[in-house]
Structure 1
Amino acid sequence: MTSRHRGKWILPKGKIEVDETARERAAAEAFEEGGVGGTVAARPLIADRLADLSQPVVFAIEVLEEFSEWPEMRVSQRACVPLSEARSMITEGSLRKVLEAFASERRAQRTPVLITAKCGTL
């Protein structure tokens, strides 16, 4: 999906509320910002957050549903692209790191896992 103001490709993100887990927030943001629903991975893609609390927690999600309407649909775009294409669309360094972690995890697990960036075959 794209950011509201600059139109750069980003991942959904949000502040974890007191009464929810990081996984629950990831699912909520995937719906609110990207209009998708599915199964959130049990553990984050990048474990840096455990050592540095200023770093975001990023989860992969197996997208099972793509909604035709969602809360932020008028302020951003979403796209369904292969991982190879997503790599060329992302210019920001930390997001590229997330994509590489996702690619490594997919190779290791050999299972179809999707990242909250969007649906499809990322």
Structure 2
Amino acid sequence: MPQITVDYSRTITPAFDRAGFARALHEATVEIAAAKPEACKTQFRASEFTAFGYEDPDEHGHAVVHVTLGLLAGRTEETKAKLTEAVLELLRKHIEVDPGTVLHASAEVRELDASYRKF
């Protein structure tokens, strides 16, 4: 814990400082949600195909990034909201898309199920 997944449009790969984002996200998660640094794990998954509304996907006028943070139960709603706001601010700092691209960024904190185990 925490289990962090970042899904994003492959078209923004060159504009996304993933290493810098992961480091800053781990720091924020430790500070805001009282996680242990060694427990922070982030996976990045680039999507081959992203569709937005009625846009022709070949135009690449839109890009999507969504961050999911799975935490053990016990955080307040205020803590979860503060963490998601921090995630969005970090995405703004670590993704520099071309002026012609609209970036749609979102984040959510979910509680891990009681069945969660790790080794």
TM-score over 0.5 for the alignment?
no
Structure 1 or 2: larger strand share?
A: 2
* TM-score (norm. length: structure 2): 0.28
Larger Rg: 2
Structure 1 or 2: larger helix share?
A: 2
Which structure has more RCO (C-alpha within 8 Å, separation ≥ 6)?
A: 2
